[in-house]
Amino acid sequence: MYVPKSQNNALAAALIVCAAAFIAATTLMAKGLGTGTLGEPLHALQISHGRFLFAFIGLSVAAGILRPKLTSPHWLLHIARTSFGWAGVTLMFAAVAFIPLADATAISFLNPVFAMMLAIPLLGEKVGRVRWSAAILAMIGAVVLLRPTPESFQPAALLALGAAMIMGMELIFIKKLAGRENPFQILLVNNMIGLCIATAAVLPVWQPPTGPQWLVSAGIGLCMAVAQTCFVNAMARADASFVAPFSYATLLFAAFYDLIFYRVVPDGITILGAMIIITGAIWLALREARVKKPLPRPTTAV
């Protein structure tokens, strides 16, 4: 039986901020692979394959060194969770090749909102007016970021929106897995299954990567493995409602990376839309804290 970690809010907050930095770094590197910065652009399916391949290698090495106690996994829940996670991260990697990292990251923060909506039919949860108001507010932010006018509409932003919807479904299965197994085992099994799915999906579009592309692919996988490790350890040490606001540091890191490496300066619409989404998501987190129900975690847990 998995024994929970002792509570430590300060450590949990620090771990979430570290996870945010690494998650934003994975989208930055995915943008480099998908835009041809390092050679012929790679398909999003190939980028996500590299992400699962090297994350699994890194976690396998860690397992060999740490030798954690493993139990029998709940395979059906893991397969369902990972399938949605793989699809979500692939869409996200496709989106960042066409739109600013800050926009894609902000839209991805809708995943707990979609998880809340999906929990109604799938988990039988009841959603009151306050929670619906918070969700609607966050959705308004997404509409702002989509820039729905003929002159400024970003079709690729729909990829990020689709990623958030699918990751919301993933959060339903993460919620079902919570407390059942050791966090490290969950990560290891998740990346093992993800690698199998990604390998089958990448075969039709595979192309030989250049040396730098191999290195960046390895960087994506290892950064995601570190981010996931930080995230699950943070969630084991503090309430989700406490750590949720710190996860939005991902947006700050994404905007900073985009500015430094691609000279993309967030415009007023990006800032407005992002702030509306974050306000709605934090409102939802605070509401969940008051009613003492677990909040679906606002992150790309894959």
Residue 3 has pLDDT above 80, yes or no: no
Provide the pLDDT for residue 295: 44
Average pLDDT of the residues of the chain:
87
What does the pLDDT average to over 220-246? 82
Average pLDDT over residues 206-217: 96
Least confident of 138-147, 264-273, 277-286: 277-286
Q: Per-residue pLDDT for 2 more than 60?
A: no
Mean pLDDT of 54-82: 92
For residue range 19-52, list pLDDT tens digits in order: 999 999 999 999 999 998 888 999 999 999 999 9
3-state per-residue secondary structure call for the chain:
CCCCCCCCHHHHHHHHHHHHHHHHHHHHHHHHHHCCCCCCCCCHHHHHHHHHHHHHHHHHHHHHHHCCCCCCCCHHHHHHHHHHHHHHHHHHHHHCCCCCHHHHHHHHCCHHHHHHHHHHHHHCCCCCHHHHHHHHHHHHHHHHHHCCCCCCCCCCHHHHHHHHHHHHHHHHHHHHHCCCCCHHHHHHHHHHHHHHHHHHHHHHHCCCCCHHHHHHHHHHHHHHHHHHHHHHHHHCCCCHHHHHHHHCHHHHHHHHHHHHHHCCCCCHHHHHHHHHHHHHHHHHHHHHHHHCCCCCCCCCCC
The pLDDT of residue 4 is above 70: no
pLDDT over 90 (residue 155):
no
The pLDDT, as a whole number, for residue 298 is: 43
- Give the pLDDT confidence score for residue 207 in this predicted structure: 95
Q: Could you report the per-residue pLDDT of 169-190, keeping only the tens digit for each? A: 988 888 788 678 888 888 999 9
Judged on CB neighbours under 10 Å (0-12, 13-18, 19+), 260 is exposed
Inter-CA distances, 66 with 60, 62, 130, 135, 185, Å: 10, 6, 45, 41, 12
In terms of pLDDT, which residue wins out, 3 or 32?
Answer: 32
Domain ranges of the chain: 9-291
pLDDT confidence of 79, banded at 50, 70, 90?
very high
Whether 301 shows a pLDDT value over 50: the answer reads no
**Tell me, what's the pLDDT at 300?**
44
Q: What is the pLDDT of residue 51?
A: 97
